[in-house]
Structure 1
């Protein structure tokens, strides 16, 4: 009798706990940046997710766009097209956390990405200073 009354409670508890254990919505695929200058493609890389500059939506200068603001002077001549700018993105609650790089600012940052339907909130933090931009699913 006692087991029969506990079983429904255990079942209800397991059903209500399931959403908290659910993985965040997928961010794989192509996303347009908030400034409409480029498309970022997120893809599986090992056990994590990475993101690279897939194409530019603005006219490139002759010879392409280079990583001129990279803090590592030896990388300033590298092409930005195809450059990985997000890496080690792994699920954390309802978002993904990992690392990112902003070629426009020449800064590396801690990244937190959360999908909201066709929008992707990308929060980047350096120390205690954070900035959030919104990408749009293509």
Structure 2
């Protein structure tokens, strides 16, 4: 009698259990940008992940590349090398979601990053307009 009562309850628990979500593949490390002009380094920053410009693969202008298109005029003389351009990246499904900044355009965007082997799909959206680029693991 006891077995007949426990078995249906155990079966119901198994059938209604929510499967555990797997953590997305790590994006920590160095990635070459799609235009092959720089290397972005992703690193832990608190409980999230951040990304900064770690290296330029093209010659910088004398005095270093500057953030000349930044919407904040006070930041336009800041050097780009070492600049954090991704922040608050946290796991979201099979990737990461957070914020980003494009120095080439001087725009902040919502960022979605998903690793596919040695490739990193980086989707940036401003309002309803989105663009996706692919970084390559170094």
Q: Distance in 1 between matches of 2:114 and 2:102?
A: 18
- Gapped regions of structure 2 (runs ≥ 5): none
Question: TM-score, normalization: structure 2?
Answer: 0.91
Please say if 1:134 is aligned against 2:134: yes
1:89 aligns with 2:121: no
Quote how far apart the aligned CAs of 1:7 are.
Answer: 3.7
Q: CA deviation at 1:17?
A: 1.3
Kindly provide the CA deviation profile for residues 25-51 of structure 1, in whole angstroms up to 9, marking residues without a partner as x.
110000000000000000000110000
Aligned to 1:123: 123
1-structure distance, mates of 2:15, 2:36: 46
Query: What CA distance in whole angstroms lies between the structure 1 residues aligned with 2:39 and 2:7?
Result: 56
CA RMSD, 1 decimal:
1.6
Q: How many residues align?
A: 135
SS at match of 2:113: strand
Give runs of aligned pairs for residues 1-138 of structure 1, distance below 5 A: 1-2=3-4, 3-4=6-7, 7=10, 10-11=13-14, 17-18=19-20, 21-138=21-138
Runs of 4+ off more than 6 Å = none
**Normalising to structure 1: TM-score of the pair?**
0.91
* Superposed displacement of residue 95, structure 1: 1.1
Give 3-state SS (helix, strand or coil) of 1:52's partner: strand
